[in-house]
Amino acid sequence: MRPLFLISNDDGILAPGIRCLIEVLRPLGDLLVMAPETERSGMSTAFTLKEPLSCKLVSKEEGLVQYSSNGTPVDCIKLALNLLTDERKPDLIIAGINHGFNGSIAIHYSGTMGAVLEGCMAGFASIGFSIDDHKAEANFEPALPHIRNIVQAVLDKGLPYGVCLNVNIPNHGQIKGTKICRQGKGRWVEEFIPCSHPNNAKRYWLTGKFLNLEEEAEDNDLSAMRQGYISVVPSNIDVTNHSLISQLQAWNL
């Protein structure tokens, strides 16, 4: 039997990135797409409690069934696993291709990686793909053979419970290969742009730039990206800092 892939993203079901992902995966298996009906970038692992969620059939053909929802990427995964996969559970949960880099600490903010973490917490092998290019016309082409390879390898070999893959694709014409590496250290430097508001209450648009805190490092996802490699970071659901436990125990709280 062909494998079943559950596909989502945070740029919305019409984004070129998810359209491209669907095309590249179709030869490898059957696809169930469940993605936000509009863009939900920056939604992290947020879910929706205060309004009812939609679950709308968008299209259905042999090997490709597509749904959209008003929910977050996490809601989409929860809806799909609970309402759409009773007869057949996915072999793999895949999100992307995200328009924008999701390496370093962006894993904590990304809705695309939120869907991946959700799939992982539910016990499924899960992968997120992102490209370091926010434009709708990003060139996914050079990455496609690598995406197929990574998906096939995870299908064949699986992933341990509680670990997902965060895959980031450089915005280069030629990709040099794939590097398995660690998450780089960085942070955002925000800039709030003031804007007017009818009753004199100032409002602010959140903008920001990413700051690499390890410019010299050669072994993380930021350096892989800079060198023209696809980065693959195995990422944990368990965020415990185990080495700090004994230090904190000595505090005698």
Site for a second copy in 46-75 (CB under 8 A): 46-49, 52-56, 71-72, 74-75
247 exposure class (CB count in 10 Å sphere: 0-12, 13-18, 19+): exposed
The one-letter amino acid at 156: D
Q: How far is the CB of 39 from a second copy (least distance, A)?
A: 8
5 half-sphere exposure, CB direction, 13 A CA radius: 29
Q: Cα separation of 253 and 251, whole Å?
A: 6
Q: Which of 60, 86, 174, 202 binds a second copy (CB under 8 A)?
A: 202
- In this complex, which beta carbon is closest to a second copy, that of residue 63 or of residue 219? 219
Binding of a second copy by 158 (CB under 8 A): no
Check binding of 19 to a second copy (CB under 8 A): no
Minimum separation from the CB atom of position 156 to a second copy (A)? 9
- Binding status of residue 241 toward a second copy by CB under 8 A: yes
* 197: contact with a second copy by CB under 8 A: yes
Helix (H) or strand (E) segment spanning residue 23: helix 16-25
Task: Say whether residue 122 binds a second copy (CB under 8 A).
Answer: yes
Cβ(203)–Cβ(194) below 8 Å? yes
Shortest distance (Å) from residue 69 CB to a second copy: 9
Only one of the segments 58-66, 90-98, 105-113, 125-133 lies at the binding site for a second copy (rule: CB under 8 A); that segment is 105-113
Burial zone of 106 (CB within 10 Å; 0-12 exposed, 13-18 middle, 19+ buried): buried
| Smallest gap from residue 146 Cβ to a second copy (A) | 7
Q: For a second copy, which is the closer residue by CB, 31 or 77?
A: 77
| Residues 174-193, interacting with a second copy (CB under 8 A) | 178, 180-183, 185, 187-188, 190-192
Q: Could you say whether residue 206 binds a second copy (CB under 8 A)?
A: yes
- Backbone torsion region of residue 162, taken as left when φ is above 0, otherwise alpha when ψ lies between -120 and 50, otherwise beta: left
User: How far is Cα 211 from Cα 188, in angstroms, rounded to an integer?
Assistant: 6
Query: Does residue 18 have a cis bond before it (omega within 30 degrees)?
Result: no
157 part of the interface to a second copy, by CB under 8 A = yes
Question: H-helix or E-strand containing 18?
Answer: helix 16-25
Q: Which of 4, 97, 117, 225 binds a second copy (CB under 8 A)?
A: 117
Among residues 1 and 249, whose Cβ is nearest to a second copy? Answer: 249
Tell me, residue by residue from 81 to 100, as one string, x for binding to a second copy by CB under 8 A and - for no binding.
Answer: xxx-----------------
Closest CA to 127 of 76, 163, 165: 165
Distance between the two ends of the chain, CA-based, in angstroms?
Answer: 56
